[in-house]
């Protein structure tokens, strides 16, 4: 082997990778920079200022965005928590309960929200809630989010459960632990990294959703994405850029968090 | 504890999966306080039987009784047996002490008592200074001893060991054998030990059950198994042997009249169900000696020799073309026979044994 | 040798018998709040429309008729094929396909490049690609809109460079929608392709090189066929959401770049207010997507990987 690295190198791949990252980051970075613009004209640079951030928290739109943020985070925490619990139970059923009737169908059902296009889910949910006379509002948003959060929570949880050999639980039961004790004392602690990444993924996905929320939210109820969308429809204002930058920050914090949790989980085994 | 009372009674156990039958009606008695080994190649059903006793597999037919009580309806966590798993399965998120006291806590011991007992057992396996470590910080040999301590702590009626030495390197494995046997004797608990390593089985066991393809081939002491194998499989699997194709003239009262290739007649012990006709004669390579050809020896031609240090393996061919292996001690002064030289082989009648196929 | 498989690697049945009970919440929530609604939507597509939203419970094929057939202004002419909506669907498929193609064109080299970094820096590269995946799609689309507006930073920059003398009119074009789709779903391509490339055994490349293949030949004849499952997975992950995308066409496009998502949305939230027609369009979209997924599943089952 004279130069084994040569087999992995293709001319131009590095350049395309850089291009890929530029495309992914340029809009975000530019919006982040312009959110600190002192000028009222959004395209002319007028010096560094935090005034749009002040505007987000104290300006005329502040109550609207504060309510939207509270709604968004409440729903995201609630939906992600419930989805994580449901997904953990489902992962135990799929990976630890042997065969049972409807197992294959169950897996298809878990993945169904990923397969049905978002716009179709949105339409179907709206029709359903209207038909059964369910008043659209926070509750309908929560239910819709819970449904599409389940597969996102399930993926990392199930992957983690597959990587934990069941011999630990067998050993526990051999040492007089009941199945519930084997789950609580052995499987659950070993599953923590998977459960946390499942929760974080579901949380971000819920926070991210616009289309389904826009269909099932009641009149006057907004989440951050629907509020931002409504505002953008009347033109991009600098305060939107400040909010976007803040949300960008939240996402970066979460992805970093989940990254470190994932690494900690790997190094433990 | 009475040496002769039965700890585990396995009666006609059949285990079927969808398409495979792993155990075809297996029966054995495991006595109190004995070191009992299930020996066989992989796929022979030994681990399946162990898992049936532990409760991780259901028995399709037959019964397993623990001190006379049928344990079929009991789930694993209600069976007073404990297991040392092949890869130990030490709980990675708990300390050594927490691992060892786990079973006691589940049986309702209060924390203080459980801890005291755990420390006592850790002392037995010489690990009392490692109580606060995590399994990941221990060597393979230490992990193996923690696994043993964890399974012994609740003082089980029977201890099941699933190839517990297979993850250790050779040197360590030999040391642990002695230690394990010693602990078994000290505790007086019946050990059911699964292995595919015949040397391990021979050195440690009080009795061995040789298994193959879901059947028990033979149950007996290491000496029985090695020196009086019941059939071809056992003779072949335990140690090295020559299986000579012979003509059987007559069988009576455990003795057989056979004609070796070349026409030499021999009267030797026979397995219980041997009959006249064609048969296989088992002769261990170390029981054969070489000398000049004569009317009382088995003529053979040397085809090759392999120098092994303490031993020399002599490969030869009989007059009918059958290969035969002779193990010579390196101390013999006569030197190594040349390739192609003709010589006479001899062995005592008692060293040979007629087998059933 | 199922009989003597080592303990632990055998079939996991620790909580045997509890499967259905543990699966109950999934059945309840996804069954009631997704399967049932989709079935209801299918029924809606056969109902009669009520003006300003809602339906009248009378069975009719009117929605599908409107979608596929043109019966003239007063509905009394002999039916001809109606191209408006088929055209919108066709444009959507074309746009989604193009976006998938471009994502693959950039995504594969990126995935390859990352997977061939040494183990110490690889997670950092992967981390960089993952971040945008976690950032709110709406915010990303709005950012793109801001960037490429007529008076946006991109035009300012190009004017300053002197590459152009007039601002480019990018917004509200097919190009803008395409850029938006590409930008939205690029991470969906990189991650599965990366997962496949990471498992690729470079001994295969060495064997190919040993047999006189140059790098590009090896790429074509060995690497691409081996990592194909990852590429196909990436393509599906980009194509399916692109097809029903709403934000990119709505924010970056205009009337001429209308896609399926907007067509459906307009029936419920917009002025059109024709629920059965919207439901029918959604049913057709769902059929196309499930068809693609089914083909993929069949191909996977046949290929055994």
Domains and CATH numbers, chain C: 82-198+232-304 (1.10.3720.10)
Report whether C218 contacts C227 (CB < 8 A).
no
B150 Cβ under 8 Å from any chain A Cβ: yes
Give the side-chain half-sphere CA count within 13 A for A252: 10
Residues of B in contact with A268 (CB under 8 A): 92, 136
CB contact under 8 A, A123 and C23: no
pLDDT at C63 over 50: yes
The stretch B325-334 carries a mean pLDDT of 78
Handedness of CA A205, A209, A215, A218 (dihedral sign): positive
B336 Cβ under 8 Å from any chain C Cβ: no
- Shortest distance between the Cα of C8 and any Cα of chain B, in A, equals 9
Residues of C in contact with A28 (CB under 8 A): 132, 135, 139-140, 143
Name which residue leads in pLDDT, B153 or C169: B153
User: What's the pLDDT band for C1 if we cut at 50, 70, 90?
Assistant: very low
Residue C290's SS3 state is helix
User: What's the pLDDT band for B250 if we cut at 50, 70, 90?
Assistant: confident
Which distant-in-sequence residues (6+ apart) come within 8 Å of C67 by Cβ? C82, C85, C86, C277, C280, C281, C284
pLDDT at C290 over 90: yes
The stretch A124-147 carries a mean pLDDT of 93
pLDDT at B168: 87
The stretch C74-87 carries a mean pLDDT of 82
Distances (CA, A) of A1 to A44, C199, C219: 57, 21, 19
Per-residue pLDDT of B64-101, as tens digits, reads 999 999 998 898 999 999 999 988 999 999 999 999 99
DSSP state of A183: I
Other CB atoms within 10 A of residue A41 CB? 10
CA distance C197 to A13: 14
Other CB atoms within 10 A of residue B309 CB? 6
Q: Which residue of A has its CA nearest to B147?
A: A171
- Shortest distance between the Cα of A57 and any Cα of chain C, in A, equals 19
CB contact under 8 A, C5 and B162: no
- Shortest distance between the Cα of C22 and any Cα of chain B, in A, equals 20
Could you give the dihedral angle defined by the CA atoms of residues A252, A258, A264 and A266, in that order, rounded to the nearest 10 degrees? -120
B160 Cβ under 8 Å from any chain C Cβ: no
Which domains, ranges and CATH numbers included, belong to chain B? 6-227 (3.40.50.300), 240-355 (2.40.50.140)
Residue A265, token pair as written in the block? 């989980």
Residues of A in contact with C47 (CB under 8 A): none
Report whether C195 contacts C226 (CB < 8 A).
no
DSSP state of C15: T
CB contact under 8 A, B45 and C7: no
The DSSP string of B235-282 is: HHHSS--EEEEEEEEEEETTEEEEE-TTS-EEEEEB-TT--SEEEEEE
B284 Cβ under 8 Å from any chain C Cβ: no
Instruction: List all chains that touch chain B, counting a touch as 3 or more CB pairs closer than 8 Å.
Output: A, C
Q: How far from chain centre, in Å, is Cα A25?
A: 19
The stretch C9-30 carries a mean pLDDT of 82
Residues of A in contact with B83 (CB under 8 A): 170-171, 174
CB contact under 8 A, C19 and A34: no
Residue of C16, C17, B91 lying closest to A165 (CA atoms): B91
Report whether B176 contacts B84 (CB < 8 A).
no
Q: How far from chain centre, in Å, is Cα A75?
A: 12
Residues of A in contact with B93 (CB under 8 A): 189-190
Least confident of A114-128, B103-117, C61-75: C61-75
Which distant-in-sequence residues (6+ apart) come within 8 Å of C122 by Cβ? C114, C115
CB contact under 8 A, B54 and A189: no
Which distant-in-sequence residues (6+ apart) come within 8 Å of B160 by Cβ? B50, B53, B54, B81, B82, B83, B84, B151, B192, B194
Per-residue pLDDT of B36-66, as tens digits, reads 999 999 989 999 999 999 998 889 999 999 9
The closest CB to that of A181, out of B92, B106, B150, belongs to B106
The closest CB to that of C3, out of B22, B83, B89, belongs to B22
CB contact under 8 A, B42 and C2: no
CA distance C183 to B230: 75
Per-residue pLDDT of B155-189, as tens digits, reads 999 999 999 998 888 888 888 898 899 999 999 99
B162 Cβ under 8 Å from any chain C Cβ: yes
pLDDT at A267 over 80: no
pLDDT at C2 over 70: no
What is chain C's length? 305
User: What's the pLDDT band for B333 if we cut at 50, 70, 90?
Assistant: low
Per-residue pLDDT of B103-150, as tens digits, reads 999 999 999 999 999 999 999 999 999 999 999 999 999 999 999 999
Residues of B in contact with C3 (CB under 8 A): 15, 17, 20, 22-23, 43-45, 47-48, 214
C40 Cβ under 8 Å from any chain A Cβ: yes
The closest CB to that of C22, out of A97, A125, A244, belongs to A97
Report whether A83 contacts A77 (CB < 8 A).
no
Q: Which C residues, 55 through 94, put their C-beta within 8 Å of a C-beta on chain A?
A: none
Residues of B in contact with C7 (CB under 8 A): 47, 51, 56, 83, 85-86, 89, 162
When scoring A98, A170, A175 by the number of chain B Cβ atoms within 10 A, the one with the most, hence best to mutate, is: A175
Residue of A268, A253, A146 lying closest to A205 (CA atoms): A146
Residues of chain C with pLDDT > 90, as a percent, come to 36
When scoring A160, A166, A169, A171 by the number of chain B Cβ atoms within 10 A, the one with the most, hence best to mutate, is: A171
Per-residue pLDDT of A59-86, as tens digits, reads 888 899 999 999 999 999 999 999 999 9
Report whether C246 contacts C265 (CB < 8 A).
yes
CB contact under 8 A, C3 and B85: no
When scoring B41, B56, B211 by the number of chain C Cβ atoms within 10 A, the one with the most, hence best to mutate, is: B56
């Amino acid at each position: 082997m004279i130069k084994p690295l040569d087999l992995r190198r293709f001319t131009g791949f590095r350049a395309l990778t850089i291009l890929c990252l530029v495309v992914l980051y340029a809009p975000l970075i530019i919006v982040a920079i312009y959110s600190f613009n002192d000028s009222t004209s959004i395209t002319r640079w007028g010096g560094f200022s935090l005034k749009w951030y002040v505007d987000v928290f104290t300006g005329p739109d502040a109550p609207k965005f504060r309510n939207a943020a509270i709604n968004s985070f409440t729903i995201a925490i609630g939906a992600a928590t419930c989805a994580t619990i449901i997904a953990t139970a489902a992962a135990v059923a799929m990976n630890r309960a042997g065969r049972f009737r409807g197992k294959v169908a169950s897996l298809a059902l878990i993945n169904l929200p990923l397969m049905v296009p978002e716009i179709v889910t949105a339409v179907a949910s709206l029709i359903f809630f209207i038909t059964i006379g369910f008043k659209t509002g926070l509750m309908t948003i929560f239910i819709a989010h819970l449904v599409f959060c389940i597969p996102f929570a399930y993926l990392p949880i199930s992957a983690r459960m597959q990587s934990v050999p069941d011999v630990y639980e067998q050993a526990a039961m051999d040492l007089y632990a009941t199945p519930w004790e084997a789950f609580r004392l052995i499987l659950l602690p070993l599953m923590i990294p998977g459960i946390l990444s499942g929760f974080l993924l579901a949380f971000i996905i819920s926070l991210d959703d616009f289309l389904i929320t826009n269909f099932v939210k009641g009149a006057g109820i907004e989440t951050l994405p629907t509020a931002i969308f409504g505002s953008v429809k009347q033109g991009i204002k600098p305060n939107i850029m400040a909010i976007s930058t803040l949300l960008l920050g939240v996402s970066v914090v979460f992805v970093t968090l989940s990254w470190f949790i994932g690494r900690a989980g790997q190094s433990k085994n | 504890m009475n040496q002769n009372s039965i700890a585990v009674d396995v009666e006609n156990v059949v285990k079927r999966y969808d398409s495979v039958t792993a155990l075809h009606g297996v029966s054995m008695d495991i006595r109190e306080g004995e070191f009992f080994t299930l020996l066989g190649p992989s796929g022979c059903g030994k681990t399946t039987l162990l898992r049936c006793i532990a409760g991780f597999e259901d028995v399709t037919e037959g019964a397993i009784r623990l001190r006379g009580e049928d344990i079929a309806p009991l789930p694993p966590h209600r069976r007073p047996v404990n297991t040392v798993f092949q890869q130990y399965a030490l709980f990675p998120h708990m300390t050594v002490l927490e691992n060892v006291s786990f079973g006691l806590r589940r049986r309702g011991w209060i924390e203080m008592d459980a801890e005291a007992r755990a420390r006592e057992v850790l002392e037995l396996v010489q690990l009392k200074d490692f109580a606060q470590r995590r399994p990941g910080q221990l060597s393979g040999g230490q992990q193996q001893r923690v696994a043993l301590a964890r399974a012994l702590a609740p003082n089980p009626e029977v201890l099941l060991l699933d190839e517990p030495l297979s993850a250790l390197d050779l040197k360590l494995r030999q040391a642990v054998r002695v230690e394990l046997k010693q602990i078994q004797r000290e505790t007086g608990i019946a050990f059911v030990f699964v292995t595919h390593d015949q040397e391990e089985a021979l050195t440690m066991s009080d009795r061995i059950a040789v298994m193959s393809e879901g059947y028990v081939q033979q149950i007996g002491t290491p000496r029985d198994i090695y020196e009086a194998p019941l059939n071809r499989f056992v003779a072949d699997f335990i140690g090295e042997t020559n299986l000579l194709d012979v003509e059987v003239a007559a069988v009576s009262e455990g003795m057989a009249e056979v004609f070796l290739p070349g026409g030499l007649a021999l009267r030797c012990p026979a397995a219980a169900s041997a009959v006249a006709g064609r048969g296989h004669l088992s002769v261990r390579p170390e029981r054969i000696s070489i000398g000049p050809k004569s009317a009382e020896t088995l003529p053979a031609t040397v085809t090759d020799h392999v120098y092994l240090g303490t031993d020399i393996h002599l490969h030869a061919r009989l007059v009918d073309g059958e290969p035969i292996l002779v193990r010579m001690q390196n101390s013999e002064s006569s030197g190594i026979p040349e390739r192609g030289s003709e010589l006479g082989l001899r062995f005592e009648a008692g060293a040979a044994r007629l087998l059933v196929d | 040798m199922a009989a003597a498989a080592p303990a632990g690697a055998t079939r996991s049945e620790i909580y045997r018998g509890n499967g259905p009970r543990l699966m109950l919440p999934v059945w309840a929530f996804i069954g009631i709040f997704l399967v049932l609604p989709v079935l209801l939507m299918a029924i809606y597509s056969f109902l009669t429309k009520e003006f300003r939203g809602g339906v009248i419970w009378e069975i009719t094929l009117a929605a599908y008729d409107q979608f596929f057939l043109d019966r003239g202004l007063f509905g009394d002419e002999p039916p001809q094929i109606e191209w408006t909506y088929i055209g919108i669907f066709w444009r959507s498929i074309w746009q989604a396909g193009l976006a998938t193609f471009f994502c693959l064109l950039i995504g594969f080299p990126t995935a390859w490049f990352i997977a061939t970094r040494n183990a110490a820096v690889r997670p950092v590269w992967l981390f960089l690609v993952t971040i945008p995946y976690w950032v709110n799609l709406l915010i990303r689309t709005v950012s793109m809109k801001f960037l490429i507006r007529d008076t946006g930073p991109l035009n300012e920059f190009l004017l300053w460079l002197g590459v152009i003398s007039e601002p480019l009119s990018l917004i509200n074009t097919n190009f803008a929608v395409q850029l938006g789709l590409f930008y939205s779903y690029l991470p969906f391509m990189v991650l599965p392709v990366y997962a496949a490339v990471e498992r690729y055994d470079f001994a295969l490349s060495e064997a190919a090189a040993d047999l006189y293949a140059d790098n590009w030949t090896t790429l074509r004849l060995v690497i691409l066929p081996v990592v194909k499952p990852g590429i196909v997975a990436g393509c599906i992950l980009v194509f399916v959401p692109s097809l029903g995308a709403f934000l990119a066409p709505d924010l970056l496009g205009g009337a001429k770049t209308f896609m399926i998502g907007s067509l459906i949305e307009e029936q419920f939230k917009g002025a059109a207010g024709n629920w059965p027609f919207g439901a029918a369009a959604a049913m057709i979209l769902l059929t196309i997507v499930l068809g693609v997924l089914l083909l993929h599943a069949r191909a996977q089952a046949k290929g055994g990987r």
